[in-house]
Structure 1
Amino acid sequence: MLSRAAQLDSKSGGSLSFLIFGLMLIICSMFCPPSQASTESCKKVNPTFVSLQRCRHHPDGVRDLDCFSRHYQPTYNCTWRPGRNAAHNTYTLVVTQKSKKIFQNISNFHQTIRRQKNTNLSVEIFENLHSDHCTTAVFHGSPKSLLRCEPPVNVSLSRSDGELRVTVTWKQEDAKLINKFAVRYKVLDSPNWDESIVESLDANTCRVRNLNTSLVYAVQARCVTNERCSQCPWSSVYIVPRELTTQHAVVSIKDTDIPEETGQRLISAAFKLHDCHRLTIGKVSGEPPRQQVDTCLSDFRLILSYSAYQINISTYNNASVSTPVSHIIPERETMHDDRRLNVTVHNSTAFSIRWKPDVLKMFICYSVEWKGSGQAARYRSFYEDINYYKTLSPLPEPLEPYKRYSIVLHTRPDKDTCNMKKVNNSESTYGRTYVYFLEGSPVGAPANISSHSVTLNSALVRWSPIPEEQVRGFLRGYILHFAHSNQRGVRTETNITVGPTFNSCKLQELKVDTMYQVQVSGFTSAGAGVRSATIFFKTDHEGHFHFRNVITVLAVVITVAIVGTPILKRAKSVFWPNIPNPGNSSAVQKIEGSCQLELLGILATLKVEEWDTESLQILENDSLVPACTFATVLPPLGAFELEGDPPEMTSKWSQKDLQDGDLSPVLEADTFLEKRQTDCLGPPVAFSSDYTTMEMFQQMIPETPAHEGMKNKSGDITVVRTKLDYVRQFSTGSTSDSQQMFTIF
């Protein structure tokens, strides 16, 4: 027994000695100096050990060494950032868990290290180990603190009413470990993050409230740490644009036909602002799908059928969408061709629709839309490649009697499915027709009945059409009921029928001077409807002259007077010029002045002794001061009668002077007047008109030999007077300023 124990002790001692010897060899191979190493490997490690001792930590050297692991990975991932001044970098990584391990000549910035359970990790990185500027960085960590969950792979941001909604998506491996996440934010230009970190209520959605709608924010997200996610790094920075609160509408929407494609139209519009816009397009009938189109262009174009569409337009960015503006594209009812489309109504829940057989060569997918007046449209799509008709039964709602229905057939180019995959450029309208399940007579009558242009035996009657909801069938036409009574009281009624498109009718072959009453009604295939209110009119009698004719004649006369007067005046001035009236001439003017008043005072003495020329005296007043030059053109004295003189005295006075031939008084008066004229001559003055004085008139009359005079017996020259020798001028004004005045030459 002892020998057996001794053997065991000797064996265990030998094993322990062998283990100690092996450890010594390993240590010697790693750290022994060259003089003590006998193997080639020890010679190679020795320079590395020496270099590790002289590398130092530096802020511009290798930095940000970080190692982490994931719960589903058996390794550590170590990453670092290179030095700022190194050009060609090589790295040496020394990893210590239970033992040391060296990774040399690493050219990238990461390294994978096998993880040992329940063992702390120590990592040291060396940059450019064999250079004089070697730098190093160190990392230490425990296995539980190195379990990392990655940042979200996708972050969706949306803003509305001052609230930011953050929706995140995690990696599939991490999604099972994360229960909550946190969000931090700041104004974009702010240097610091907001200290208040918002935590989510669940693992995918978080709400940030009380934000300024006009500011731009920066946002980061990360998971909330737990036992299986001890590391939760922040995500990259996401920019949240300002909130879109203004509705951006289009300038105008145009509806244009496409000549090449029958049954399609081009819808185009331009945006007011050059932002990115989101269009949601769908049929008003509700038939799917509702297509969404995003565009950043300044306009949009859609190719649609003749159905009614609704387009919602909003502005969007990566964080918010403005409130949409809705536009309704009304249906086009211009296509109505009964020859292309035929509908047969079987009952209130079934009808058949037929089209031309040649359509099957191009289309096998169809869609039918029908709606009653004031109702929402119904639809049904179907596949048909054999027959050129389709019976729809049962209908979702029964057809109502007396209501008009519009039925439209659309064709679709997609062969694989008859439901639309998209709205834009997906179908075209083949035809449209109208049907009634049951027709009735009109319950309404034409309105606004009136008569016009009433003559001896005709009149024009006009009316407004019956509203569609009161027709209750296809309107076939109108009936005019007009009647009159004769002198015996016998009533006669006549009916006239016109087409449904007419709203007037001319009644002819009426009786003269007769009162008529008229009513109008419409009719369908079910019969005539109610009559309108009665109107009355009376035809004209023979010889009747309407007041409107008088107005017409007066209008013509006034027009001729206004237009013809200038023409007549022009013709008169050309063919019959006016002869000037001497009485209106400016040559005869009233002469006023101090010399005239003196002369009037002197000549006033001529009234003494009944204007007896034998007792004519010339009074001379030396005290008169000449003031002006006067002269006037006067007719012969005998041609006028002085105011207040008897006609016989005036004639006697003038004739006596001429018959006696005694010119001495005249000569004496001439001598006096010539003297007074000489005295009154002053500086030359301007005349008040073109020709005013006798002096100007005499200058225009050439002198005759008779005016040159003749010698008397004594050899003196005797002046011979003309008929202008005696001139008398008078005025019929008031006593104060129109005394009788004589001017004697």
Structure 2
Amino acid sequence: MDEQEALIARNHYNHDYPAHPNNIIIKFDDDTTVFGLILEGTESAYREEILKSSAWSSTNNLTLITMKTKEIIFDFRINSTDLKPLYINGDLWRESQPGFHLFDLLPSVRCSPEQIKYERQKEDFTVSWKNRNITHYQLQYKELNKESWILVNSIEDNSIKVAVPNETVFYEAQIKCIPNNVCSDCKWSEFLFIPPEPKIVELFTAPFSEGNRMLHMKWEMAHDQHINGYNISITRGTEHANYSTRHREFFLIISGSAYTISITAFNNKGRSPATTVIVQELENIVYSGEMNITAKDPSQFQISWNSSETKCYAFDWGPVKGDRTSNSWFTNTPSLQLNGEFEAYKRYRIIMYLRYKNPPCNLKDFNGTERTFAVKDAYITEGTPLYGPSNISASDIKSTSALLTWSEIPEESLQGFLQGYAIHYSSNSTMDSSQAVYVNSSTLSWTLTDLRSNTLYTVQISAFTSAGEGKQSEDYVFVTLKEVSARIYFTMSGIPVLLITFIVIYCQGFEKVKKAFWPQIPSPENSSAIQEIDKTNPARLVESSLLPVTELELDTSDSGSIHIIEETSEITRIYEAAKNNQSVDQEVLVQDAEALIVTDQVEPDHMNAFSKMAGPSFKTASDYTTMELFRQAMPHFSKVDQETQDKEEHTACDMRQDYVKQKHCYMNHADS
């Protein structure tokens, strides 16, 4: 059969005899190959295809040469059986035993698992594989670079799950079949390195440009040599973007919205658990864009803006606290409609971005592709607040005023945009009616004035929106102080002043007062009187009080003895002589006086003699007996006639003076 005949035959055969679904016929020139699939030991489809091919060849004047036809059987069955003989045109084409068996060419059955993978969570990891021949396997694992292994047998056919106590540890694992009658030689697989989640050590954002900021992240991973790289997944609303890096550091230019960022480490067998962080939305930022929002109906917001900078826009919208929806538009007009299932009395936040990518404005990349244009909150329908403020208290209470403070109402309880607070207060007095004070929404304290003193007041506070005033708070009661008169205030405030003044004066004048009322009595030994007595003996006093005679030469060094006049008769004689101005010889007087002075002991009789001279009024006023005797006895020695006293008044000495002054007086007169 030449080439043209073979081509015609091939075309006719392929057209007239399509292969069985389990068979494939490949014909090239004058060669034909038949592939047949034998399932569960049944080869009927294959046999039928061989017989049809032989019959077609005979019909089309083609001869099938049996001696040149070869059959190869690939038998993947573990327990194979002999196939029945096959005849072609009466010739035995296949004997009971095929030319060779597939497993005769292999050393043994394939026992090692294939396509080994792992998947790690924080508290466990799962190792999975594929093998249709073996159903029972064994896993060993340990901490990386440690020595002791932990063995776990499989429960399912193709996976093993292991709980790990330490979520920050890097593990390594191997798997093998459990020896059986089919696989007697089971070997451990290659190592699986199972990393923990990356540990973020640095995360911050910094202003980059209007509506943009730069994000910088840095993380750590032990045994980094077993890691091929890191996947970074970024989500904003319902949109996602993925990035990969080999480094443990990442920079990104993002907008002012909120982002969820996840980082995983991966190698050729699996990946680590994800470390997830949230980059918070920028709060209280006033953007340059102007966006107007109008509630058209319960399921639609109409949005318009003033920018023509780009034609590609992206929006996030949803509850202020909750999940949000994201989408992007390419539009030539600065307006669009947001449709959704919006609820009344719930606050929604709408964020608008300008994107700098060509249509269709897809959100597959966040890095430097957009900036925040405007942020605005809106309600489909506003309502009144559900509750009044809490934690109401009064402080700095006076007779006519009191300071009230309260806490903010949670945003979810406002049901609209807060416009202010209403303070309602009333007293228990029948003369007053209930009053109300309205303050703005940023005020959380207020001072009530013009109150009545000593009066009980009841306060209720409520919040109001554009829909009206909401429910009032619970009653709060306080009592103003009682008013006190000015005189009592002055007296009460003056008491501390007077007390302080008295203490100051008392401290300063204490010494003066002490000297005036509690004089310090000096020691008699140190008194001037004793010093004069030590210098002057009684004989001199007698001498100077009688006549101007020369000083007696007595022993004055004996100041420790008491000198007493013994004979009263001699004293009387001397006195009488002085009284009558009789001349007395000085030497006789001195001798008589010296004879009258005795020392040592004072006898009672001598005291009586002085008492008689002094008269009935002679009494000692103190323990200083000698001085008292001299002082009280002196007047008797100085008595003279009244006429003589008047004549000599300018030279007389006052006998009522103490003996010291008298002594000086007489001595001065004697000198003159």
TM-score (norm 2): 0.48
Taking structure 1 as the reference length, the TM-score comes to 0.44
